[in-house]
Amino acid sequence: MGKSRQSVAAVTLAALMLASCGGGGEGTSGSGGSVTAPPTPTPTPTANCSLSARQSFAKAVIDEWYMFPNDVASGVNPASHGTVQSYIDALVAPARALNKDRFFTYITSIAEENAFYASGSSAGFGVRLAYDAANQRIVIAEAYEGAPAFAAGIDRGTAIVGIGTTAGNVRTVASIVASEGTAGLTNALGPNDPGVSRVLRITDAAGTRDVTVAKADYSLDPVSDRYGAKIISEGGRNYGYINLRSFISSADPQLRTAFLNFRNQGVTDVIIDFRYNGGGLVSTAGLMGDLLGRNRTSSEVFSQMVFRPSKASANNETRYFTAQPESIAPTRIAFIGTGSTASASELVINSMLPYLGTNMTLVGANTYGKPVGQIALDRAECDDRMRVIAFATANSAGASAYYDGLAPKITNSCAANDDLSLPLGDPREASVRAAIGFLSGTACTTRIADASTGAAARSSRSLAPERPEMLMADRPSAAQRDLPGLF
């Protein structure tokens, strides 16, 4: 890397695919990228971690690796910015204006990100929150087993109608939004630090009550033991259902176990529920492709990673299918998606499209639209990891650039609600029901409108959302980038 490699100190590089309002990618243990990196140096007490030095590190990474070098602002004065991220935002502002980089280039903590991508380690209540503007409430889209909220009796479909630090100062969601906007909701929920406690006024089938929940460290189970992988038997046929929460390393053995069961049960019709999956490791996305590729050959392309011209010859990578002992040969696949379905999830969907064509569908709503991935470059002595968009992804046909989501690419997509009143994986739930309908040959009545929840809709904030939207932190953590709405 010459001078710029020296300037970034140590490079820990692997490919990631994430999204939400963040970005994402693969931690240091991944195998998505092909760039060779020197070992991370031992931190020294004299390391220069001043703001200006950290800004210089970020600038050097962007100058060398950014996927859109012609869309970087010139003349940005680092002294005018009080944080590294603010400086990064100013540098990549032209690319953002063109819808190429929606906060996918950012600086984060090495330790925090490594912990999440290895085992899903995070801190908080352990719930995914959707803001229901029409009814002025927050609805639980998903609750993680082993996390504080689930232990307190809070699960999918529970509504939060008030938030406070004590029983005496609970404010309604409506009053918080009226005075502070939706940002007031994230502020009211407090930082995601262990020990932070909140009184939540909740409403569910048991009525309305106040519960006190303290945030704590927990590890995410990427495939839920409750509903993550199952066989749905209906009408004399078996359908495989899998809900992958995130593309993290600990998902790999769970995916293998689930697909082995599908294979043993003779399943060829599969529902893959990515509705809240914001992305993650490219290597885990590749494994999922392999598990869907029993009828593919080692000469057939699953996906392609394409770097900027100055980096292409050394780093472009084509991934071919590699059959696994657990692989199945799907006849039909119904992917379930929403505006929170992004990056690695979209990579899998896009990569399977050339092989299945109309025997594959997207059910639910349009996906987020992130056909690019990040690499990680580390400055270990400062615990700084720079995540920079460095490559685009494409399928075997070379199709990419789905910045407005994948629905426009899938002609037989099928619109369906995300019914928060029913458990995930329940065949009565609207999106699962529509997926079963496709697999069984029932015609879909409504196609997903192009860009219905993708970038075009998100740019028109004056329009009231048709469905609850994931509540997003202004500066998401590594976990929140990969899991939109996580608190």
Looking at residue 380, what DSSP letter applies? G
Look at residue 465 in the predicted model and tell me its pLDDT: 40
* Tokens 């910015």 belong to residue: 81
Provide the 8-state DSSP code for 378.
E
DSSP state of 43: P
pLDDT at residue number 464: 35
Beta-carbon contacts of 48 under 8 Å, excluding residues fewer than 6 positions away, are: none
Instruction: Return the closest-CA partner of residue 467 out of 486, 448, 442.
Output: 448
Contact 276, 338 (CB under 8 A): yes
Q: What is the per-residue pLDDT for 103? A: 84
- The whole-number mean pLDDT for each consecutive block of 10 residues of the chain, a chain of 487 residues, reads 33 42 34 32 59 96 97 97 97 95 90 77 90 96 97 98 97 97 95 93 97 94 97 96 95 98 98 95 95 97 96 96 97 96 96 97 96 92 94 95 94 95 97 98 86 44 56 78 86
Report which of 199, 233, 283, 221 is spatially closest to residue 27, judged by C-alpha positions: 283
H/E element holding 242? strand 237-243
Counting every residue, how long is the chain?
Answer: 487
99: helix, strand or coil:
coil
Query: How far is the C-alpha of 104 from the C-alpha of 275, rounded, in Å?
Result: 20
The rounded radius of gyration (Å) of the Cα atoms in the chain is: 22
pLDDT at 420: 95
pTM of the model: 0.86
Tell me the DSSP string of 317-335: EEEE----TT----SEEEE
**Structure token digits, residue 203:** 């409403």
- Domains of the chain plus CATH, in order, are 2-119 (no CATH), 122-219 (2.30.42.10), 229-370+391-455 (3.90.226.10)
List CB contacts of 258: < 8 A, sequence separation 6 or more.
223, 228, 229, 240, 242
Quick one: pLDDT at residue 29? 30
Residue 208 C-alpha from the chain's centroid: 32
pLDDT at position 468 = 83
Question: Is there a contact between 290 and 322 (Cβ–Cβ < 8 Å)?
Answer: yes
Structure tokens at 205: 């089938």
